[in-house]
Amino acid sequence: MSSDASGAAPGAPEGGAAVDRMAGVEAVPGVAKPDPILTADGVRRSFGGLTAVDVDHLEVQRGTITALIGPNGAGKSTLFNLLTGFDRVDAGTWSFQGRPLNRLGGHRVARLGMVRTFQLTKALTRMTVLDNMLLAAPGQSGERLLGAFARPVWGRQERVNRERALDLLQRFKLDAKKDDMAGSLSGGQRKLLEMARSLMVDPSMVMLDEPMAGVNPALVQSLLGHITALRDEGMTVLFVEHDMDVIMGISDWIVVLAEGRVIAEGRPADIRRNTQVIDAYLGAHRGEPAGAAGTEESG
Ligand SMILES: Nc1ncnc2c1ncn2[C@@H]1O[C@H](COP(=O)(O)OP(=O)(O)OP(=O)(O)O)[C@@H](O)[C@H]1O
Ligand SMILES: [Mg+2]
């Protein structure tokens, strides 16, 4: 864990403060958190006759790494889409930092400080790595329309964005690739690019949809390091993952979704001994090759 993050009590492990404040929080679905950054109520979404998401109440504690887990088709990505403005709810309300987000599109939500990455990376393959970063910079849309009058301001903003992009690329060890086409990156490097790109707007919360999927073990370690570093810098991280070792290793709190509903939440130790969780996983993954989706509890 890095020791240079600001804002943490001296001597205390970063991230510890937020986690300590959760000490008395009961491990039951929908439980209130001491300082939620994100709160959702009655969020539902159906596709035809299928209810993909049906979340009565969910709070995400500020400054923690919270894992969102559940079998394939549980509704994890759909919930991400709904909360970040990439899909429309059928019902429900939710707020971020106390501000209602209903009906706001993805770009507005990002500007308010809540960003997400996609399960299938959305890097623009025929654009350079650096341009992919710059495209995610604050205030990109419509800037070109301002024309010559705004040019001096635009130039300055562009320089600031460029500096930030280069800093982030360096942090994610992609700086040597800045002029390469994003399409030439490996799957793992694209995941890194996607994470770096999400940080262009200086968010307070990042939502990562399977950031480790399809990434080689060496890069997984590096991604894990980046995720804990974000938390240690005070960011809130909500991430979707299937690998139980990864989940148990870095999560401060775990939310379990099955058939669209929150069936359990708690600390890793609470989740590990929750038979309902074990059943949900075994039910969905019976017959799959061992290790395909976190069935470690099956023995
Ligand atoms: N656009 C859509 N149209 C129709 N059905 C959809 C759509 N998006 C998701 N679904 C369905 O909603 C359910 C939840 O899907 P979702 O992708 O949210 O699950 P998930 O938990 O992210 O699964 P995975 O772990 O496989 O990524 C699934 O049954 C899926 O087939
Ligand atoms: Mg998904």
Residue 78 within any structural domain of the chain: yes
Higher pLDDT, 14 or 1: 14
Could you say which ligand is closest to the alpha carbon of residue 208? Answer: 2
Alpha carbon distance 124, 126 (integer Å): 6
Domain shared by 117 and 133, yes or no: no
Q: Which residue among 76, 208, 257 has the greatest number of ligand 1 atoms within 8 angstroms of its CB, and so is best to mutate? A: 76
Residue 178 within any structural domain of the chain: yes
Mean pLDDT confidence for 13-35 = 84
Residue 224 in this model has a pLDDT that exceeds 80: yes
Question: Using 50, 70 and 90 to split pLDDT, how confident is the model at 138?
Answer: confident
Residue 83 within any structural domain of the chain: yes
Domain shared by 108 and 133, yes or no: no
Smallest CA-to-CA distance from 208 within 225, 218, 223, 189 is with: 223
**Can you tell me which atom of ligand 1 is nearest the CA of 242?**
25
Residue 6 within any structural domain of the chain: no
Structurally, the chain folds into a number of domains equal to 2
Question: Using 50, 70 and 90 to split pLDDT, how confident is the model at 282?
Answer: low
Strand pairing category for 91-96 and 261-266: unpaired
Domain shared by 130 and 75, yes or no: no
Domain shared by 276 and 209, yes or no: yes
Residue 28 in this model has a pLDDT that exceeds 70: yes
How many angstroms does the Cα of residue 256 sit away from the middle of ligand 2?
A: 13
Alpha carbon distance 102, 91 (integer Å): 10
Sheet holding 236-240, edge to edge: 114-116, 205-209, 236-240, 65-69, 253-258, 261-266
**Can you tell me which atom of ligand 1 is nearest the CA of 210?**
27
Looking at residue 20, what is its pLDDT? 81
Looking at residue 153, what is its pLDDT? 61
Higher pLDDT, 219 or 154: 219
**Can you tell me which atom of ligand 1 is nearest the CA of 80?**
18
Residue 7 in this model has a pLDDT that exceeds 50: no
- The last residue of one of the domains, among 149, 184, 219, is 184
Q: How buried is residue 6: exposed, middle or buried, by Cβ count under 10 Å (0-12/13-18/19+)?
A: exposed
Looking at residue 215, what is its pLDDT? 85
Determine what percent of the chain is predicted with pLDDT higher than 90: 61
Residue 43 in this model has a pLDDT that exceeds 80: yes
Residue 193 within any structural domain of the chain: no
Domain shared by 27 and 117, yes or no: yes
Mean pLDDT confidence for 81-88 = 94
Mean pLDDT confidence for 51-69 = 97
**Beta bridge mates, 69:** 256
How many angstroms does the Cα of residue 252 sit away from the middle of ligand 1?
A: 26
Domain shared by 153 and 270, yes or no: no
Looking at residue 290, what is its pLDDT? 41
Which residues have a beta carbon within 5 Å of ligand 2, which is an ion? 76-77, 119
pTM: 0.85
Question: Using 50, 70 and 90 to split pLDDT, how confident is the model at 286?
Answer: very low
Determine what percent of the chain is predicted with pLDDT higher than 70: 83
Looking at residue 158, what is its pLDDT? 85
Ligand 1 lining (C-beta closer than 6 Å): 47, 50, 52, 70, 72-78, 119
Place of tokens 């974000």: 230
For the domain that residue 270 is a member of, what is the CATH number? 3.40.50.300
pLDDT, averaged across the chain: 85
Higher pLDDT, 268 or 285: 268
Among 137-151, 197-211, 236-250, the range scoring the smallest mean pLDDT is 137-151
Give the domain range for residue 155.
126-184
Measuring from atom 26 of ligand 1, which residue has the nearest CA? 72
Higher pLDDT, 50 or 244: 50
**Can you tell me which atom of ligand 1 is nearest the CA of 79?**
18
Among 4-13, 34-43, 50-59, 99-108, the range scoring the smallest mean pLDDT is 4-13
Domain shared by 62 and 151, yes or no: no
Domain shared by 55 and 138, yes or no: no
- The last residue of one of the domains, among 184, 210, 225, is 184
Domain shared by 212 and 277, yes or no: yes
pLDDT tens, residue by residue, 91-128? 999 999 999 998 899 889 998 999 998 887 776 788 99
Looking at residue 14, what is its pLDDT? 52
Residue 197 within any structural domain of the chain: no
Measuring from atom 16 of ligand 1, which residue has the nearest CA? 75
Residue 11 in this model has a pLDDT that exceeds 60: no
Domain shared by 179 and 283, yes or no: no
Residue 284 within any structural domain of the chain: yes
Residue 252 neighbours by CB distance under 10 Å: 19
Domain shared by 49 and 107, yes or no: yes
Looking at residue 4, what is its pLDDT? 41
Looking at residue 19, what is its pLDDT? 77
Domain shared by 104 and 142, yes or no: no
Residue 189 within any structural domain of the chain: no
Higher pLDDT, 55 or 160: 55
pLDDT tens, residue by residue, 166-186? 999 999 999 999 999 999 998
Alpha carbon distance 173, 193 (integer Å): 10
